[in-house]
């Protein structure tokens, strides 16, 4: 399995948009599948912020993770953010998310970030194992989320 910039394999954007849409449309019901694909395309930088990295096995898309300027419009002062961490169900519990997150963290460090943030509905335990700390628990877009942070060591 390889972790590569989405910019190097743009032919999977439609599939990735569909996966993200199915996973997170409840957080933004007005965002169409086409709108999501456009947003992914715009954020698909090869490096820096924003950038999206994907895990691939041969030609198969396995998962994704993104480094973005902001992922929570209620917290505009916090930046950058880990976002869109997704692994296809058949590849879960194999360390794929950990590799994707590490790649994003390396990019955040290269961008001189000292701290980065995320929010999650269900994966707090995974992030805790990777050294993330809880900032707060809050309601966001109708769901309860954990807002977490991690100091970056370069």
Rounded CA separation 130/66 (Å): 16
Q: What's the chain's Rg over C-alpha atoms?
A: 14
Structural contact between residues 83 and 120, judged by C-beta atoms closer than 8 angstroms: no
Three-state SS across 60-81?
Answer: EEEEEEEEECCCCCCCCCCCCE
3-class secondary-structure state, position 34: helix
| pLDDT on residue 154 | 58
| pLDDT on residue 48 | 92
Closest CA to 98 of 65, 122, 67: 65
pLDDT digits (tens, 9 = 90+) for 53-97: 999 999 999 999 999 999 999 999 999 999 999 999 999 999 999
Closest CA to 69 of 52, 54, 55: 52
| pLDDT on residue 100 | 98
Q: In the chain, which stretches have pLDDT less than 70?
A: 154
| pLDDT on residue 91 | 96
């Amino acid at each position: 399995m390889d972790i590569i910039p989405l910019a190097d394999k743009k032919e999977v954007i439609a599939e990735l948009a569909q996966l993200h849409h199915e996973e997170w449309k409840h957080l933004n019901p007005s965002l169409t599948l086409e709108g999501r694909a456009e947003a992914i395309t715009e954020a698909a930088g090869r490096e820096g912020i924003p950038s999206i990295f994907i895990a691939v096995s041969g030609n198969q898309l396995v998962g994704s993770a993104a480094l973005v300027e902001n992922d929570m419009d209620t917290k505009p002062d916090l930046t950058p953010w880990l976002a869109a961490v997704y692994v296809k169900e058949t590849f879960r519990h194999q360390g794929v998310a950990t590799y994707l997150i590490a790649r994003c963290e390396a990019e955040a460090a290269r961008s001189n970030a000292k701290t980065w943030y995320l929010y999650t509905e269900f994966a707090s335990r995974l992030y805790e194992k990777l050294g993330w700390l809880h900032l707060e628990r809050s309601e966001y877009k109708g769901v309860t989320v954990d807002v977490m942070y991690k100091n970056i060591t370069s």
